[in-house]
């Protein structure tokens, strides 16, 4: 975790006070703490010791010749290629921390440095010669970075709490963000937080702070801040034409490398649900650790133990997929279903802070993983948005492009009547809102999305603008999913909650090389006749068991049933606490009568809109 203050002239006292307060807020993130201050700039870092060796990396990297200082929370990939480009002799490489490599890269390439880095990182570089601070976040946004501007300068940190701890950073809520949270599946933004003063450095971007020269002696100099993007996924070129086999082989090579590079710093845990993404990560990690003569990964499942589930054919299929992966790689899986107390703990947390978005299913997994000593958790999150995309938008793209032969073949492969063509292709294209409403109705979501928003608040709030229909096409769908903030929302929450238990989450399928590879592929690599996720299935033949590789059933009734049962059990305690204590100051945003009616409803009615109900509860203080 990193933090920094960039003050203006005469603000040195403010820098010291703010840095102390911010580092104290990060105290549960590790015992190793360091600081570097000069006049009106202060950098801080707090971290846990590495798993092997017992000491943390150096807090800072300093180059007296170039007058550069770097503080970083980073894990760099392909270090040898980076060292080759920087001309670093092989004997020196093993002893160089990632922060020191970043410093050398910045000294070499300056603002173009991030384009030469691979991995997950958030770092700051102070250039004393130019009186400029650069704050950089990795392309996908795996490492969070927040900031706020005050009259004394700028503060930034890896957590929202640390930024709010700095003096003069107000805690006023951003009501537009609250409205978005209550009207949708939570706050989905790549720049905004729940707090008016606190912003995110967007993924793939750089925040630059320049202290202007001049001004009257003894008076603060003005600061200029600007954000620039250095990563432009929309500009990714199309991949050269190749055969299915060549694409699959290239992807599998990238995938295996991404998993291998994320094993550093174990012991390693993996999610395992029987799906393509997490199953393939578990298999590749197990094989690489076996090759390294290291202990196998510990597999964690959100599903309850088999003996706790009533016999049903759907659940049997769910467990058969998990068993097939475990038998192939001789893995032991730990079932960690959410309990009512886990759900209650999440719902009672402050929903305006990213750390509570741990996901009710993940809370028991984190607790169990920490008890087992896991330091690295590999997740398949982000695959659906990238290389394992299901092909959404492909048929509409064929229709608009008048590729009748391909479209006819796709429709014939579905073996469905003409109404299927109208409902799945024409309706979303011509009437997207109507199609969305029908989809919600079929899934049992019968209420308006703002039905739990207080009427007075709804009248004054700046409501989130309805998402307009973007460009049609598979690649555009991928890009929209990557930039709408939905992917990073879970990443930021898991990062904030995991670090308190000494766990770092890593996402092989969000490796920049894999994301760019996926964006360059022709659309038919994602959907082929009846099969979505075509490239993944082709590449993983022989890696995964057949029933996992070619499984088309996405339902997880055992997992969903366990979560819904825990949520229903927790509701009675929630209702009692709200009756006794009320909803706190933030109850002004919520339609409390409707919420209490929903909490008192029959279990089936309560669980009809669990996401909207839980969002309202996360906002309250009870």
**This model's pTM is above 0.95:** no
Distance, CA of 40 to chain centre: 33
Residue ending a domain, choose from 198, 231, 264:
231
Same domain, 349 and 321: yes
Q: State the pLDDT at residue 50.
A: 53
Q: State the pLDDT at residue 531.
A: 86
Tens of pLDDT along 305-331?
988 776 776 788 888 999 999 999 999
Same domain, 202 and 86: yes
Provide the pairing of β-strand 132-137 with 119-127: antiparallel
Same domain, 271 and 179: no
CATH of the domain at 164: 3.60.20.10
Domain assignment present for residue 68? The answer is yes
Q: State the pLDDT at residue 185.
A: 67
Show the tokens assigned to 68. Answer: 């550069």
Return averaged pLDDT per consecutive 10 residues of the chain, 622 residues in all: 52 73 76 75 74 52 85 91 92 87 94 94 90 92 91 86 89 91 79 92 92 56 85 92 93 96 92 92 96 94 84 80 92 92 87 74 92 94 88 77 77 66 68 64 60 87 60 81 82 87 93 95 88 92 92 83 87 87 87 87 69 86 82
Domain assignment present for residue 602? The answer is no
Cα separation, 286 vs 332, whole angstroms: 11
Same domain, 162 and 87: yes
Same domain, 215 and 257: no
Q: State the pLDDT at residue 521.
A: 93
Same domain, 154 and 257: no
Report CA-CA distances (Å) from 574 to 337, 494, 564, 570. 20, 24, 15, 6
What ranges in 461-500 are assigned the alpha helix state H? Answer: 474-483, 486-499
Q: Do 382 and 481 meet the contact criterion of CB atoms below 8 Å apart?
A: no
Domain assignment present for residue 403? The answer is no
Same domain, 182 and 292: no
Same domain, 68 and 204: yes
Residue 415: how many CB atoms within 10 A of its CB? Answer: 8
Domain assignment present for residue 69? The answer is yes
Q: State the pLDDT at residue 55.
A: 41
Residue closest to 285 by CA, chosen among 166, 169, 380, 366:
380
Counted domains in the chain: 2
Same domain, 188 and 253: no
Residue ending a domain, choose from 491, 520, 551:
551
Residue 73 phi, psi (nearest 5): -115, 100
Same domain, 308 and 369: yes
In which residue are the tokens 């909490």 written? Answer: 599
For residue 85, what are the domain limits?
A: 2-231
Q: State the pLDDT at residue 18.
A: 81
Same domain, 200 and 309: no
Residue ending a domain, choose from 526, 551, 576:
551
CATH of the domain at 500: 3.40.50.620
Residue closest to 284 by CA, chosen among 251, 262, 250, 259:
259
The full DSSP string for 549-593 is HT------HHHHHHHHHHHHHHHHHHHHHHHHH---GGGGGB-HH
Domain assignment present for residue 429? The answer is no
Same domain, 17 and 51: yes
Query: Would you put residue 265 in left (φ > 0), alpha (ψ -120 to 50) or beta?
Result: left
């Amino acid at each position: 975790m990193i933090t920094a203050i960039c003050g203006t002239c005469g603000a040195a006292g403010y820098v010291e006070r703010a840095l102390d307060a911010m580092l104290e807020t990060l105290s549960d993130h590790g015992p190793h703490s360091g600081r570097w201050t000069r006049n009106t700039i202060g950098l801080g870092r707090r971290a846990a010791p590495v798993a092997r060796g017992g000491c943390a990396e150096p807090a800072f990297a300093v180059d007296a010749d170039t007058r550069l200082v770097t503080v970083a929370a980073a894990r760099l990939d392909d270090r040898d290629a980076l060292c080759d480009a920087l001309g670093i002799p092989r004997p020196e490489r093993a002893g160089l921390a990632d922060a020191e490599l970043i410093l050398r890269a910045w000294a070499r390439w300056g603002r173009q440095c991030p384009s030469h880095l691979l991995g997950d990182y958030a770092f700051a570089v102070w250039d004393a010669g130019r009186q400029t601070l650069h704050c950089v976040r990795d392309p996908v946004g795996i490492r969070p970075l927040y900031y706020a501007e005050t009259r004394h300068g700028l503060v930034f940190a890896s957590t929202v709490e640390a930024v709010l701890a700095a003096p003069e950073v107000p805690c006023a809520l951003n009501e537009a963000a609250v409205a978005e949270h209550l009207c949708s599946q939570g706050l989905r933004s790549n720049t905004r937080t729940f707090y008016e003063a606190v912003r995110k450095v967007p993924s793939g971007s750089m925040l630059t702070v320049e202290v202007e020269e001049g001004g009257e002696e003894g008076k603060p100099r003005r600061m200029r801040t600007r954000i620039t993007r250095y990563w432009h996924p929309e500009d990714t070129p199309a991949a050269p034409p190749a055969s299915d086999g060549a694409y699959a082989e290239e992807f599998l090579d990238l995938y295996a490398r991404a998993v291998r590079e994320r094993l550093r710093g174990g012991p390693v845990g993996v999610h395992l649900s029987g799906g393509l993404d997490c199953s393939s990560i578990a298999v590749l990690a197990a094989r690489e650790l076996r090759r390294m003569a290291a202990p196998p990964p510990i597999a964690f499942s959100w599903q309850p133990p088999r003996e706790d589930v009533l016999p049903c054919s759907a659940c049997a299929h769910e467990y058969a997929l998990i068993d097939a992966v475990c038998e192939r790689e001789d893995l032991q899986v730990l079932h960690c279903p959410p309990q009512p107390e886990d759900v209650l703990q999440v719902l009672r947390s402050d929903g305006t802070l990213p750390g509570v978005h741990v996901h009710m299913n993940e809370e028991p997994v984190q607790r169990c993983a920490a008890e087992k000593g896991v330091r690295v958790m590999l997740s398949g999150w982000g695959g659906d948005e990238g290389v394992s995309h299901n092909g959404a938008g492909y048929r509409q793209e064929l229709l608009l492009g008048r590729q009748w032969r391909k479209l006819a073949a796709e429709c014939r492969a579905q073996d469905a009547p003409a109404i299927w063509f109208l409902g799945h292709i024409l309706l979303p294209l011509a009437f997207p809102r109507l199609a969305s409403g029908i989809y919600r109705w079929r899934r049992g979501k019968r209420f308006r999305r703002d039905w739990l928003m207080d009427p007075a608040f709804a009248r004054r709030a700046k409501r989130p603008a309805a998402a307009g229909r973007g460009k049609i096409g598979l690649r555009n769908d991928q890009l929209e999913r990557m930039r709408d903030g939905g992917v990073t929302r879970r990443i930021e929450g898991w990062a904030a909650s995991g670090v308190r238990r000494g766990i770092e989450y890593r996402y092989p399928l969000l490796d920049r090389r894999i994301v760019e590879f996926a964006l360059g592929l022709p659309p038919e690599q994602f959907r082929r006749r009846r099969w979505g996720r075509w490239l993944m299935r082709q590449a993983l033949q022989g890696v995964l068991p057949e029933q996992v590789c070619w499984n088309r059933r996405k339902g997880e009734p055992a997992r969903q049933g366990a979560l819904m049962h825990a949520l229903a059990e927790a509701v009675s305690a929630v209702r009692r606490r709200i009756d006794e204590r009320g909803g706190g100051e933030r109850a002004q945003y919520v339609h409390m009568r409707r919420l209490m009616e929903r909490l008192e409803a029959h279990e089936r009615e309560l669980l009809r809109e669990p996401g909207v109900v839980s969002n309202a509860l996360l906002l309250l203080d009870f």
